[in-house]
Chains A and B, each alone.
Chain A
Amino acid sequence: MDMDPIDYSIHGDDLQYVELRLAPGRCAVSEPGAMMYVDDGVTIRSEIGDGSGRETHFLGRLWRGIRRSFSGESLFTSVYANDAAGPRRVAFAAASPGQIVPVDLAAVGGELIVQRGGFLAGARGVEIGVALQKRIRVGLFGGEGFIMQRLTGNGTAFIHASGALTEMRLAPGESLRVDTGCLVALQNTVHYDIRYVGRLKSALFGGEGLFFAQLSGPGTIWLQSMPLKRLSQTMLGSAMAASRPRGALGILWVIAIAAFVIANILLGGSGGGE
Chain B
Amino acid sequence: MNGRFAVRLYGRDLPAAGVPASAWFVGQHLRVAAEPGPELDIAVDQLRVDTGGFDHDRLYLGWDTPAGRLSISPVDAAAEATLVGTAPALLDAALQRHARGTRRNRHQWRLITGVAAAAALLLASLWWTYGALVSWAADHVPPEAEAKLGAATLAELKKGGKLIEQGPAVDALREIGGRLTAGSRYSYHWALLDEPSINAFAAPGGQVVVHRGLIAAARTPEELAGVLAHEIQHIEQRHTLKSMINGLGVAALATVVLGDVSAVAGMLAYQIGTLSYSRDLEAEADRLGLRALVRADIAPQGMADFFRTLEKEAPQMPIALLSSHPATEARIEAIEAGIAALPKQDYPPLAIDWAAVQASVSPDRTAAP
Contact = CB atoms under 8 A, between A and B. Distances in A.
A134 B10 contact: no
B54 A131 contact: yes
Contacts of B128: none
A172 B17 contact: no
A113 B108 contact: no
Interface in B56-92: 56-58, 60, 62, 68-71, 73
A218 B15 CA distance: 10
Contacts of A107: 15-17
Given A131-B54, A191-B53, A218-B16, 11 more contacts: A109-B17, A135-B56, A135-B105, A136-B108, A172-B60, A172-B71, A173-B50, A173-B69, A173-B71, A174-B12, A191-B56
B62 A108 contact: no
B12 A189 contact: no
A106 interface: yes
Interface in A154-207: 169, 171-174, 186-193
B69 A171 contact: yes
A190 B17 contact: no
Contacts of B55: 134, 188
A189 B68 contact: no
Contacts of A193: 56
B10 A192 contact: no
B16 A169 contact: yes
Contacts of B71: 172-173, 218
Contacts of A172: 10-12, 60, 62, 68-71
Interface residues of B, number: 29
Nearest to A137: B108
A49 interface: no
A172 B51 CA distance: 12
Interface string B40-54: 000000001011111
26 contacts: A109-B17, A113-B54, A134-B56, A134-B57, A134-B109, A135-B56, A136-B108, A171-B11, A171-B69, A172-B10, A172-B60, A172-B62, A172-B70, A173-B48, A173-B62, A173-B71, A187-B17, A188-B54, A190-B52, A190-B54, A191-B52, A191-B53, A191-B54, A191-B56, A191-B58, A192-B54
Contacts of B56: 134-135, 191, 193
Contacts of A72: none
Contacts of B60: 172, 218
Interface string A218-249: 11100000000000000000000000000000
B18 interface: yes
A219 B17 CA distance: 7
A75 B17 CA distance: 30
Contact of B53 (A106, A110, A190): A190
A218 B11 contact: yes
A5 interface: no
Interface of B: 8, 10-12, 15-18, 48, 50-58, 60, 62, 68-71, 73, 105, 108-109, 112
Nearest to A167: B16
Contacts of B68: 171-172
Contacts of B51: 191
Nearest to B73: A189
Nearest to A113: B54
In the complex, which range does the number of interface residues on chain A fall in? 20 to 34
Nearest to B51: A191
Contacts of A187: 16-17
Contacts of B62: 172-173
A41 interface: no
Nearest to A131: B54
Contact of A188 (B48, B50, B53, B105): B53
B108 A218 contact: no
Nearest 7 CB-CB pairs, A to B? A218-B10, A191-B52, A172-B71, A171-B12, A109-B17, A173-B69, A172-B69
B53 A189 contact: yes
A87 interface: no
A192 B15 CA distance: 20
Interface in A73-130: 106-110, 113
Nearest to A186: B54
Contact of A218 (B18, B105, B109): B18
Contacts of A173: 48, 50, 62, 69, 71
A113 B53 CA distance: 11
A217 interface: yes
A157 to B, nearest CB: 14
Nearest to A132: B55
A216 interface: yes
B107 to A, nearest CB: 11
B16 A108 contact: yes
B353 to A, nearest CB: 78
Contacts of A113: 54
Nearest to B71: A172
Nearest to B75: A109
Contacts of A136: 108-109, 112
Contacts of B8: 109
A169 B12 contact: yes
Contacts of A110: 17
Nearest to A138: B56
Nearest to A109: B17
